[in-house]
Structure 1
Amino acid sequence: MEGPLKGYHHETYAFPLPAENPLATRFERGKLRSPREELLWFDRRCFASEDRLLIALRGRIARIPECFEVAENVCLQGFIEGRTLSRRPLSDRHLHQLGRLFEELVGVKADELDIRRNAAVADRPTDTDTDTETETDTDADSGAFLRGLIRFTEEQVYGENAGRFGTLFDELGVPENPLEELKRATVRLASRPFALIHGDLHRENFIVDPAGDLWTIDWELAAIGDPLYDLATHLHLMRYSQKEEERVKEVWRAAVEGVRPGSSDGWEQDLQVLLSYKRAQSVYTDVIRTAVALGSGPKPNWQLLPRAAWRIHLVLKAAAEPLGLSEVPTLRQVMAAYMRWLRAYPGRTDP
């Protein structure tokens, strides 16, 4: 058995499959995944079980981990052998397979997944003025979808952790209620039919198998929502060159329109709003993750601080406009902010 494997949301173990296992005809190894306890969640979760989702998507989405229930409430996934997607430009083959993934995702509608969700309306838009639920699928409210994500970031990511990390955000110059401008922009978003979205399409979640094919793993952040959100998340996380980004945009537009016309309505203007949200969200996520990574006990890992501070400086710089930052703290200022926060922990030792 190999593990625990690298991953934030789950503790994962891989092991050889016995010949009688139903997965053994396609996979050399299986993997068991268990959600990590006391985890800080930075993204809203829609589906109660990634395993149940994978079972429901069997035959709908190609090249994803196959999953079987091997005992009551115990599911086993096939382990995708290969390497994560490199930082080289996408090959034509992988670009085509990425487009196929977008086609398959937008082809899965809200009412076609009969599996338990974390909340009855966790992935449905809410009218923030009347608190009435809208359950339309063919003409979904993309603005309400984004407002729900913003509300989650404000209340669950920042609000729930303000007692521990609030002073650090203050030190870094992140103002109170910085997402108000983004909220106002959501009312201008075009309506696009909701579909399945992966929610976390980055290089570590793409596996290139020995045959050179592209597989998509880690579906725990999947949801039903605005298909443009998947493109925005993908572009934000992949850090493509401008030329490659344009290729991916065109592949996405052609893919979703070919399956469900109207899925790319208003996409060029709306993409900028969604990218602004992703840049702002990254500040909350990365500031907290960095603080935790530096050490939650009395002895911080001071050696990690310079590199970590540089990363936070870049994240703040990228989010300066959507967060309304009048100026971005320098590397020295970011390091000083973290040092003061770390030293405030009872029993901390100074570097």
Structure 2
Amino acid sequence: MDALALYEKSRAQDTALSGFYNLNVRLEADTGPVLVRIPGPTAEPMDLTLWPEPAVLAAIRPYVSQAPRLLHASTDPRFQIHTFIEGHRVDDLSPDGKPLPEWVLNGIEQFFRELLHVPLSALPALPPDWPADGDTKGFALRLLSFVQQIRGRADAALDVLYGKLGVPADPCGPLAERAERELSDRSFRLLHADIHRKNMLLTERRGVAVLDWELALWGDPVYDLADHVHKTAYATGDRSLVLAGWEKVAPAECRTAWRADFEFYCAYEAMKSAVVDTVRWGRRIAEAADVQQRQALAEELRTKLIAAGQHWGGGPPPAPAEIERAAVSWWDTVSTAAPEA
């Protein structure tokens, strides 16, 4: 396999699947189909990261059966080559809020079973200042600190947008106090930290493969469950089955007082979503092709702000029309100020 030739060929393709951080191109290699994964245009990081994705994929290979296999990784230029997994994304089978077949839920349960048994000894080294095993308070505060960094790095124009939408300068304070007061100690595990319908593939053998490991962390496994449930938007019955399935496969030391702390992490996800999606949805609103699409996106963002407001103690957000106007005004300011290419 000529990895550099595949990289150059992938750069010439116009069929890349774009995520927030990477471009993905399917190509045919001598050994069969592969996926070339290239960092996308530079974007402000909106998620906490710990390790390079290739190091994670190499570490999990003996333990996680349904994940991409790393074939090659390069740092100059930066790209990876993975095995290409044939299948359909879960959101193609069933979009957010719709029920999933039992075999898919079983596949997700099996994935958690394997993930929760990856030993720390197999993983890359942790930073010296990373929270110690079982320090769930320290882990939660690390998550909250990163969200506070996202809010704090807003320039003047974005700060105006946050203010108009009711996102406070310190959206994390109440949850930080709650973390100190409520969270129970639990054994840490490997976390994928981004399992949702677009990152899960249904394979020909009725398995569920999980993609995109660049956000993997070592921390409280209850956070990974809450992050997954928040992003996957399960139907009510499926949500209960997933929680029961996780409880069944999680080691006892990962389940201490987990249901109460699951609710804490759900609150964290609602808060983080509003902070991050003010930027992402704000741009989508401003760039929407028609009035109906802008209105729908503004209503979605308002729903996120309502869910977050109860955790940061704010009042009700503005009406969708006001959100739309604020987002367009913000993006006009950003676009005008941006230097010409």
TM-score, normalisation: structure 1: 0.83
**% of aligned pairs identical?**
24
Residues 79, 96 of structure 1: alpha-carbon distance in 2 compared, 3 angstrom cutoff = same
Q: Are the counterparts in 2 of residues 106 and 256 from structure 1 also a CA contact under 8 Å? A: yes
Residues 71, 289 of structure 1: alpha-carbon distance in 2 compared, 3 angstrom cutoff = closer
Equivalent position SS for 2:111: helix
Alignment of 1:55 with 2:58, yes or no, is yes
**How large is the RMSD of aligned CA atoms in angstroms?**
2.2
Relative to structure 2, which stretch is displaced further, 60-69 or 194-203? Answer: 60-69
1:39 pairs with one of 22, 40, 43: 43
Structure 1 residue runs of 5 or longer lacking an equivalent are 20-27, 126-134
Match of 1:128 in 2: none
Q: For 2:248 and 2:263, how far apart are their aligned partners in 1? A: 19
Equivalent position SS for 1:34: strand
Letter in 1 for 2:50: C
Residues 302, 323 of structure 1: alpha-carbon distance in 2 compared, 3 angstrom cutoff = farther
Q: For 1:302 and 1:345, how far apart are their aligned partners in 2? A: 19
Letter in 2 for 1:98: I
Q: Are the counterparts in 2 of residues 51 and 77 from structure 1 also a CA contact under 8 Å? A: no
Letter in 1 for 2:117: G
Residue by residue over 1:29-83, the C-alpha shift from the partner in whole angstroms, topping out at 9 and shown as x without a partner, is: 1011122242121111111x21221112112101101112377876420111111
Pairwise CA distance, 1:107: 1.0
Counting only pairs closer than 5 Å after superposition, residues 273-284 of structure 1 correspond to structure 2 as: 273-284=264-275
Equivalent position SS for 1:108: coil
Q: Are the counterparts in 1 of residues 285 and 324 from structure 2 also a CA contact under 8 Å? A: no
Pairwise CA distance, 1:143: 1.3
Letter in 1 for 2:311: P
Structure 2 residue runs of 5 or longer lacking an equivalent are 1-9
Relative to structure 2, which stretch is displaced further, 274-283 or 331-340? Answer: 331-340
Pairwise CA distance, 1:240: 1.2
Letter in 2 for 1:208: L
Residues 279, 70 of structure 1: alpha-carbon distance in 2 compared, 3 angstrom cutoff = closer
1:241 pairs with one of 235, 258, 282: 235
Q: For 1:151 and 1:250, how far apart are their aligned partners in 2? A: 31
Counting only pairs closer than 5 Å after superposition, residues 155-170 of structure 1 correspond to structure 2 as: 155=149, 157-170=150-163
Pairwise CA distance, 1:309: 1.0
Q: Which has the higher helix share?
A: 2
Q: For 1:164 and 1:340, how far apart are their aligned partners in 2? A: 9
Counting only pairs closer than 5 Å after superposition, residues 162-311 of structure 1 correspond to structure 2 as: 162-187=155-180, 188-257=182-251, 261-294=252-285, 300-301=287-288, 303=290, 304-311=293-300
Alignment of 1:323 with 2:312, yes or no, is yes
Alignment of 1:100 with 2:136, yes or no, is no
Equivalent position SS for 1:262: helix
Match of 1:129 in 2: none
Equivalenced residue count is 315
Alignment of 1:68 with 2:45, yes or no, is no
Q: For 2:48 and 2:329, how far apart are their aligned partners in 1? A: 31
Pairwise CA distance, 1:251: 0.4
Counting only pairs closer than 5 Å after superposition, residues 125-140 of structure 1 correspond to structure 2 as: 125=131, 135=132, 137=133, 140=134
TM-score, normalisation: structure 2: 0.85
Letter in 1 for 2:158: F
Q: Are the counterparts in 2 of residues 207 and 214 from structure 1 also a CA contact under 8 Å? A: yes
Q: For 2:128 and 2:247, how far apart are their aligned partners in 1? A: 28
